[in-house]
Amino acid sequence: MHRELNDVEHFDDNLETLVKDMAATMYAAQGVGLAANQVGEDFKVFVFDCPDDDGERVTGVVCNPVLILPEGKDRELDEDDEGCLSLPGAFASCARPDVSTVRGTDHTGAPVEFHGTGLLARCLQHETDHLFGMVFGDRIPERARKKLYKLHKQLIEDYPDDWPASITPL
């Protein structure tokens, strides 16, 4: 999980199948987003189905994302609990910008852009991080990180070793 993935270069049936399987896995795990490396794939692609600050559900696929975050006086942090399907059941407070935009392509190669507020902003940042070798635990203070991983270790017996990939066939 701690290395940058390869760019998606082929927008073919294999990618479409991967994206469908990832979406099925995300829903089965009751997540709001899932990155390819969480199911053992080495491509910069993530799927999501997440509400924004207004409660409106936004779904999508992003390949080769470019994340745009506010800077300077426009940057406001939202500190909230965050979890990850790679650390099932464990949550920790993590500060992230309260808005974000991600640009890339969908699984067909068509350009996409998603602007997020609230949980959606957090999701777009979280999933993009995965594709570039970062997990949310890397973004929190060391003491909180140790507590997060300790909690995860306590809960791990409830999940198979290859969670979340094991909950649907890939």
Burial 22-46 (b: 16+ CB within 10 A, else e): bbbbbeebebbbbbbbbbebebbbb
Give this prediction's pTM.
0.93
Whether 71 is catalytic is: no
Locate the domains of the chain by residue range. Answer: 13-158
Query: What is the distance, to the nearest Å, from the Cα of residue 53 to the centroid of all Cα atoms in its chain?
Result: 17
Residues 12 and 63 sit within 8 Å (Cβ to Cβ)? no
**What whole-number percentage of the chain has pLDDT above 90?**
85
Q: Which CATH number is correct for 13-158, 3.10.20.30, 3.50.50.60, 3.90.45.10, 3.40.50.1110?
A: 3.90.45.10
pLDDT in tens, 7-62: 999 999 999 999 999 999 999 999 999 999 999 999 999 999 999 999 999 999 99
Is the preceding peptide bond at 70 cis, omega within 30 degrees of 0? no
Q: Which of 16, 71, 79, 127 is catalytic?
A: 127
pLDDT in tens, 114-165: 999 999 999 999 999 999 999 999 999 999 999 999 998 888 888 877 777 7
